[in-house]
Amino acid sequence: MVGGSTLSVDFPTTAGALTTTYRAPGEAFITRLQADGRRLAASTFYGSPNGSDNITNLQLDKANNVYVFGSTSGTLAATPGAVSASNSSTFITKLAPSLADVRFTARPAMGPILSTAFGLDACNNIYAAGFTATPGLPLVNALPNNTIAGYYTMTLSSDASKLLFGSYFGNTTAHAHSQVHRFDSQGRLYQVLCAFTYPTIAGAYSPTNRAGGLDVLTFKIDQNAGSTSSPLQAAIAPVDSACAPYAVRFANASIGEGKLRYRWNFGDGTPADTARQPSHTFTAPGLYRVQLSVMSPNASCGNTTRDSTIVLVRVKALPTVALPKNLILCAGNSLTINANSPGNTYRWSIGATTPTISVTQPGKYSVIVNNGRCSSRDSTIVRLVTEPTLTSDTTGCIAGGIRLRTTAEPGSTYLWSTQETTASIMAPTSGRYTVHITQSGCVTEKSVTVTLLRPVLPPNIITPNGDGKNDVFKPSEAVAVELGTRLRLYNRWGKEVYASDNYANDWMAAGQPAGIYYYTLENERFCTPRVKGWLEVVK
């Protein structure tokens, strides 16, 4: 929907429209386009038949009736019952959606005016405002200390039959430029302009011009159409900034009559909420524009009044901290734990304030990381892998060998110096055996010395007849006897007949008669350190 003024005599209009004939230079027009913007839905000329006209503002109500605000230099009569002033150069007209007929035309006393704002409230009361220097404009429910000034704003009833509000604002000497301006559905005017000087009120954010030249000024006027009911106003208490995840319980400070309905849009892609004071958690950092829309049944005009407001919620980012999990501490070693969060400050559970710590004991370790705004906490468990065990240095008999055993965690791996890979092995010979044990990533080397002793198998008969066969008493089949072997021989009456502390396999019963003898044989390197028995000498 567009409106304005044209000098084109062939400006397009549509059949059945209010006025299809171009009547005077500067004819005003109103045009409704199809949704695709390519075709006319309805188009008409509008204004006086004998002067130039201009439509500066346009609004639609919920039934798509068209309201226009403009000026004329010609003759344009007000409809019966509508506000009309003899000195008016402005008009406010309501047309049917088809642009085929006029519902009313008002000629309010506004004088020549540079219009800035035009709107409807929820009851279709009509609002218009602009810059003017015309004195004597009507004052109704005017602002305090109201005198002729450079700005005038007014309210008409929904049928344009009554002036509900009229007031000057500003001053006559100010040079001003209009910027952003609008009326909301509650009849409140919001205006932004540039000026050197302009009146302000007590408590204003900046009551004086601080720029030295043209400075931006904003003001709000609540005209409220003269209503005696409480206006609907959406309001949210300010929300402090906090760290993610941020759980906010919003304080709804909206006011209005009737059973109010609410709709919250949290600005983070989550579904809307209809609670009066909802709680919501913002999981990611960012600046969120939270919008509250408030709806109220309006008894005075039989429809729904709506208002909305926005509050900003700033959610600050947490520092990233992720301690490694399932940490293993090898026995006898130290372990370094890194917070992996550069550029921050740290506080560990052990009192350290560095990005990394070195630990030598198992247990739970935690760190708090702060980025100057928010803190994050994480913890980890350090498990000690105990040192494996291996059979200690040992002595055994050559005949059977010795089994070497380790004790380690389940799932450990082994590599012996014999290249075997089992938890235990047999040691068949004397020597040093080494094993590398890997358990949960910890590698330990263990060694054991094995000494295998000779078995003692003394004969029970010798024949010392000089034939070189079985002539002497030999404790074992070895060629050489073990050093330090102690031998004692006794005859049948218990008399010691031979003694040696370093026996050399050389007793052949010299000087002793044939018969039965008894002996004791001792050496710590024998499988059996002390052996006793009997021996028959045959000559």
Q: Are 429 and 448 in the same domain? A: yes
Q: Is residue 487 part of a domain?
A: yes
Residue 435 is predicted with a pLDDT of 98
Among the candidates 174, 191, 222, a domain finishes at 222
Measured CA to CA in angstroms, residue 415 lies from 410, 418, 435, 448, 492 at distances of 15, 8, 5, 14, 57
Closest CA to 56 of 122, 131, 144, 121: 131
Residues 376 and 514 occupy one common structural domain: no
> Of the residues 257, 283, 316, which one is the last residue of a structural domain?
316
Give residue 389's pLDDT: 95
**261 DSSP β-pair partners:** 295
> Which of residues 156, 189, 222 is at a domain's end?
222
Give the CATH number, domain containing residue 336.
2.60.40.10
| Statement to judge: residues 42 and 126 lie in one domain | yes
pLDDT at residue 101 in the model:
96
- Domain boundaries, position 478: 461-537
235 within domain boundaries: no
Within a domain: residue 233? no
**Co-location of 215 and 117 in the same domain:** yes
The DSSP letter of residue 426 is E
pLDDT at 225: 46
Rg (CA), the chain: 55
Residue 309 and residue 337 in one domain:
no
Residue 270 and residue 290: Cα distance in Å, rounded?
11
Q: Work out how many domains the chain is built from and give that number.
A: 5
Per the domain annotation, does 321 fall within a domain? Answer: no
β strands within 163-285, DSSP E: 163-169, 176-183, 188-195, 215-222, 242-243, 246-249, 261-265, 279-282
In this prediction the pTM is 0.50
**List of the chain residues with pLDDT < 50:** 225-226, 228
Q: Are residues 196 and 131 in the same domain?
A: yes
Tokens standing for 433?
A: 């055996």
By CB atoms closer than 10 A (0-12, 13-18, 19+), residue 520 is middle
pLDDT for res 457: 84
Q: What does the DSSP 8-state code read for residue 272?
A: P
